[in-house]
């Protein structure tokens, strides 16, 4: 069923996202990856933002081939990675890239993000994976041009870097790029995850039948920042690259807990 | 709108899950928490397994009050925590508990699990949070009685422990309980996350219209285990308690990356 002809010796790259197969960020990322290797996009048929690491288990998934190297799946980004890597591509890919997301994925956002979750799924499969996001509200304030080409350029550099060097065990890269022309980006910095502080933005709204309903969203999150965080780095005009480890164990906490538990009897 | 009368000095506990408001695991957890403090359940109206940390942003959410202290929300576990803690409860809860999940949440499962994601949302809000799961296929092999009462007992012990001692910063507890009568459980152990190795279970199926479709699921995952892991601990007949840290930064990887990036020019 798959008629992809692989160029000799070229690296195979699976491209996905959570904004959907028709989004400009996917197009920019695919074009960038086509310069690095043999790139195949397998992406959701429509926007799947904030779906996090959701996996569709309750129904079969349909795949549509839109171009020679572009597939659409009626599922989540995680579904796309699973089906793409295991069923659609001619072999296990050398690299999985996700994005370029329309908007940043900083700090605790990584736990909600479909973009990052696609890279988590790739990492679980043992494939080097990177997530790319464009920070639309900086420096442009959300309006004006969207510099996907800048993010695409850095995606190419980082993909080549990872194909050459690999990645530390069980670790993906979460990349956030300022929304600027490439000449205004100051470079690449490796950062730690910042932390979003409790936000509390839920609006109340009435249904047509007079029921009180709740709509989550809006508000202005507060961030626990620092010069070495993803947030400050991208706000400073750099590309932020955060290595994310899939072993979430707080090892230091184990002894803390044991001492208190045993003390508690 | 909220007429909860809070008992003087009692701790306020928000209870949620991802199996839905009518599941036996939620009932067992609520009953257990009613012995620890003032417990209010805010849970999805139907099963929301494997929804991960998904947040519903594209539509308002409806809340139905089923009993004095039980609310149903037509959203995800993360939605339930946000709306419960910020809108339905009379004040910010002292503790958030999620479960008791019908089935284990071990190793990388935590990235998919709605049960664990509810505890992630609570932790992001700065509230001590615990996730509870019953390992149905051990030791009973998935059939036979389901010992939610055992998990409920340990949930009560651990909730009291956390209310007394607090938790390390930005850290939740992921608790897995063997499916045994309480007398057969050997005790509590604090563990690290195991790792699921690439599984590869996707079935092919035909639609009624002759299209090839893919259905994710089935298969037998392989685990990277060890005596101090969640998996081995619960298989050994103990309650496994893994502290999960929400700062996912692989700090050691930052220098690794910087050295290679700078070397690469």
Q: Where are the alpha helices (DSSP H) in chain B?
A: 24-34, 77-83, 114-124, 148-165, 230-235, 251-263
* A2 assigned to some structural domain: no
- Are A214 and B83 within 8 A, CB to CB? yes
| CATH code where residue B257 lies | 3.40.1210.10
The residue-averaged pLDDT of A165-175 equals 95
pLDDT at B200: 66
Q: What is the ipTM of this complex?
A: 0.81
- Whether residue B116 contacts residue B242, with contact meaning beta carbons closer than 8 Å, is answered with no
Question: Reading across the β-sheet that carries B12-16, which strands appear in turn?
Answer: A202-206, A212-216, B61-67, B70-73, B38-44, B12-16, B95-102, B128-135, B171-178, B239-245, B188-190
Report the share of chain B in percent with pLDDT over 90.
65
pLDDT at A265: 46
Residue B1: pLDDT band with limits 50, 70, 90:
very low
- Are A111 and B125 within 8 A, CB to CB? no
| The model scores a pTM over 0.90 | no
Assess B233–A contact: CB distance below 8 Å, yes or no.
no
- Are B57 and A247 within 8 A, CB to CB? no
Q: Pick from A46, A155, A139: which is nearest to A99 by CA?
A: A155
Q: Which residues is B245 bridged to in the sheet? A: B171
Q: Which residues is B174 bridged to in the sheet? A: B131, B242
For residue B197, the distance in angstroms to the closest alpha carbon of chain A comes to 7
- Whether residue A228 contacts residue A193, with contact meaning beta carbons closer than 8 Å, is answered with no
Contacts of A250-256 with C-beta under 8 Å, sequence gap 24+, read A250/B168, A250/B171, A250/B243, A250/B244, A250/B245, A251/B192, A252/B168, A253/B167, A253/B168, A253/B171, A253/B243, A253/B245, A254/B190, A254/B191, A254/B192, A254/B243, A256/B168
The residue-averaged pLDDT of B82-86 equals 94
Pairing of strands A12-16, A38-44: parallel
- Whether residue B116 contacts residue B158, with contact meaning beta carbons closer than 8 Å, is answered with no
Tell me the pLDDT tens digit for each residue of A100-126.
999 999 988 888 889 999 999 999 899
Distance (Å, whole) CA A173 – CA A188: 12
Question: Among the listed ranges A11-15, A125-129, B258-262, which one has the minimum average pLDDT value?
Answer: B258-262
The residue-averaged pLDDT of B110-133 equals 93
Is residue A153 pLDDT above 90, yes or no? yes
* Residue bearing the bigger pLDDT, A202 or B242: B242
Q: Pick from B23, B48, B103, B217: which is nearest to A54 by CA?
A: B48
* B210 assigned to some structural domain: no
Residue B13, Cβ density class (10 Å: 0-12 exposed, 13-18 middle, ≥19 buried): buried
Is residue B265 pLDDT above 80, yes or no? no
Give the best residue of A20, A51, A52 to mutate against chain B (max B CB count within 10 A).
A52
* B146 assigned to some structural domain: yes
> What is the residue-wise DSSP string for A45-99?
SS--TT-TT----SS-EEEEEEETTEEEESS-HHHHHHHIIIIISSS--SEEEEE
Q: Pick from A118, A129, A61, A133: which is nearest to A94 by CA?
A: A129
- Containing A134, the helix (H) or strand (E) segment is strand A128-135
Q: DSSP label at A103? A: S
Assess B215–A contact: CB distance below 8 Å, yes or no.
yes
Is residue A84 pLDDT above 70, yes or no? yes
Assess A64–B contact: CB distance below 8 Å, yes or no.
no
Chain-centroid distance of CA A192 in Å reads 16
Tokens 């080409």 locate to A149
* B104 assigned to some structural domain: yes
DSSP helix, strand, coil percent of chain B (3-state; round to 5): 30, 30, 40
* A202 assigned to some structural domain: no
Residue A264: pLDDT band with limits 50, 70, 90:
low
* B214 assigned to some structural domain: no
Pairing of strands A38-44, B195-197: unpaired
- Are A61 and B1 within 8 A, CB to CB? no
The residue-averaged pLDDT of A66-81 equals 95
* A55 assigned to some structural domain: yes
- Are B126 and A197 within 8 A, CB to CB? yes
Is residue A173 pLDDT above 90, yes or no? yes
pLDDT at B2: 43
CB-nearest partner of A54 from B50, B197, B212: B50
CA-to-CA dists, residue A15 to A45, A89, A122, angstroms: 14, 11, 11
The residue-averaged pLDDT of B246-251 equals 88
Distance (Å, whole) CA B157 – CA A162: 46
The residue-averaged pLDDT of A70-81 equals 94
Assess B46–A contact: CB distance below 8 Å, yes or no.
no
Tokens 């103990």 locate to B238
Tell me the pLDDT tens digit for each residue of B136-169.
876 666 678 999 999 999 999 999 999 999 999 9
Assess B170–A contact: CB distance below 8 Å, yes or no.
yes
Mean pLDDT of chain A: 89
Number of domains comprising chain A: 1
Q: Pick from A194, A193, A196, A192: which is nearest to A222 by CA?
A: A196
- Whether residue B134 contacts residue B177, with contact meaning beta carbons closer than 8 Å, is answered with yes
B72: helix, coil or strand? strand
- Whether residue B36 contacts residue B136, with contact meaning beta carbons closer than 8 Å, is answered with no
Is residue A191 pLDDT above 60, yes or no? yes
pLDDT at A226: 86
* A231 assigned to some structural domain: yes
Assess A262–B contact: CB distance below 8 Å, yes or no.
no
B256: helix, coil or strand? helix
Q: Pick from A219, A108, A112, A51: which is nearest to B86 by CA?
A: A219
Cβ neighbours of A62 in B, within 8 Å: 207, 211, 213
Q: Residue A133's domain spans which residues?
A: 12-195+224-263
Assess B79–A contact: CB distance below 8 Å, yes or no.
yes
Report the share of chain A in percent with pLDDT over 70.
91
The residue-averaged pLDDT of A115-138 equals 93
- Are A257 and B51 within 8 A, CB to CB? no
Give the number of A-B residue pairs with CB atoms closer than 8 Å: 217
- Whether residue B106 contacts residue A247, with contact meaning beta carbons closer than 8 Å, is answered with no
In this structure, what token pair is assigned to residue A93?
Answer: 């890919």
A214: helix, coil or strand? strand
Give the best residue of A107, A131, A257, A259 to mutate against chain B (max B CB count within 10 A).
A257
For residue B38, the distance in angstroms to the closest alpha carbon of chain A comes to 23
Residue A50: pLDDT band with limits 50, 70, 90:
low
- Are A246 and B60 within 8 A, CB to CB? no
The residue-averaged pLDDT of B74-98 equals 95
Cβ neighbours of B243 in A, within 8 Å: 249-250, 253-254, 257
pLDDT at B208: 85
Nearest CA in chain A to B165: A260
């Amino acid at each position: 069923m798959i008629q992809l002809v692989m160029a000799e010796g070229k690296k195979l790259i699976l491209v996905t996202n959570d904004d959907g197969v028709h989004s400009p960020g996917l197009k920019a990322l695919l074009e960038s990856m086509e310069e690095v290797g043999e790139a195949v996009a397998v992406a959701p048929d429509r926007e799947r933002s904030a779906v996090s690491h959701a996996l569709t288990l309750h129904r079969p998934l349909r795949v549509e081939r839109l171009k020679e190297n572009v597939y659409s799946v009626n599922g989540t980004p995680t579904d796309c990675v699973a089906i793409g890597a295991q069923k659609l591509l001619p072999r296990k890919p050398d690299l999985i890239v996700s994005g370029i997301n329309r908007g940043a994925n900083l700090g605790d956002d990584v736990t909600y993000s479909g973009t990052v979750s696609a890279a988590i799924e790739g990492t679980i499969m043992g494939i080097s994976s990177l997530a790319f996001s464009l920070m639309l509200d900086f420096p442009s304030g959300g309006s004006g041009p969207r510099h996907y080409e800048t993010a695409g350029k850095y995606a190419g550099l980082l993909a080549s870097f990872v194909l050459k060097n690999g990645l530390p065990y069980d670790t993906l890269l979460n990349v956030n790029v300022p929304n600027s022309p490439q000449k205004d980006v100051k470079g690449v910095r490796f950062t730690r995850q910042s932390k979003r502080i409790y936000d509390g933005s839920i609006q109340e709204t009435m249904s047509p039948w007079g029921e009180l309903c709740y709509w989550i969203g809006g508000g202005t999150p507060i961030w626990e920042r620092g010069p070495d965080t993803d947030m400050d780095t991208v706000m400073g005009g750099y590309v932020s690259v955060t290595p994310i480890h899939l072993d979430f164990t707080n090892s230091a906490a184990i002894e803390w807990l044991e001492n208190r538990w045993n003390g508690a009897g």
